[in-house]
Amino acid sequence: MKNALSDYFKAAVSVDNVVFGFEKTGLKILLIYRGAEPFRDQWALPGDLISVDIDLVSSAEKVLQKLTGLEKIYMEQLQTFGKVNRHPYGRVFTVSYFALIKIEDAHLNPSSWAEEAAWFPINEIPNLPFDHNEILEFAKSQLKLRIRRQPIGFELLPKLFTLTELQNMYESVLETQFDVRNFRKKILFLDFITDTGKKENCVAHRPAKLFKYNAKRYQKLIENGYELAL
């Protein structure tokens, strides 16, 4: 018994983004407070249904551009979820993405489907609708893997950062602690980052040197990957 071709063209596809940000207090996730059904008035991952005339990637980017006001956002696709009954309105597949954002650059601008948007500490995430909690767990584990293969951690930091900030970021993401001296040795050896000659000021302790990432080396490492044994 073979279906007619038209029987297959009845699904919807959505994107759902797991957006990571980093502050001194730790890793954060961006959630929106849903302003529309289903699951109105619940915190959820920012996402949207895809229009037939928009590419998958563009669709994921558009959601975040609207929401954060940022133009260039680092995004990677995660997994696609497609259980028959995962959405109450019909057959909806969702493609999940993760994004890394500099929190201080994002000006949150909840759009039509969201009444509010807010950063949640990674360990204080409420119950989310659909399979969003599952998506989030997957995203966390992927971020841990990918941050060791590519220097994507910079996407979470301001343009200029101290070595301590860099270490805190890695420690938050990987949920471990590193020895200060060994950490610096490895990072400086990898040639990720460049000393800008500038320093922190107005701090009540010895001011730290400010570094920026090394753009040429970044590209090479993004393309080739590496293995960061931290």
Partner DNA sequence: CCAAAAGTGTTTAAATTACACCCATGG
Partner DNA sequence: CCATGGGTGTAATTTAAACACTTTTGG
Binding site for DNA (CB under 7 A): 162-164, 179-182, 184-186, 199, 201-209, 229
129 to each of 41, 42, 106, 166, how far by Cα in Å? 10, 7, 25, 33
Q: Which does 224 bind (CB under 5 to 8 A by kind): a copy of itself, DNA, none?
A: none
CB of 186 to DNA, least distance (A): 6
Q: Which does 62 bind (CB under 5 to 8 A by kind): a copy of itself, DNA, none?
A: none
Q: Interface with a copy of itself includes 224 (CB under 8 A)? A: no
Q: Interface with a copy of itself includes 54 (CB under 8 A)? A: yes
11 to each of 44, 89, 142, 149, 198, how far by Cα in Å? 22, 11, 27, 35, 54
Q: Interface with a copy of itself includes 55 (CB under 8 A)? A: yes
Q: Interface with a copy of itself includes 35 (CB under 8 A)? A: no
118 to each of 19, 24, 64, 187, 219, how far by Cα in Å? 11, 17, 13, 32, 31
Dihedral sign from CA coordinates of 145, 148, 151, 154:
positive
CB of 54 to a copy of itself, least distance (A): 7
Q: Interface with a copy of itself includes 170 (CB under 8 A)? A: no
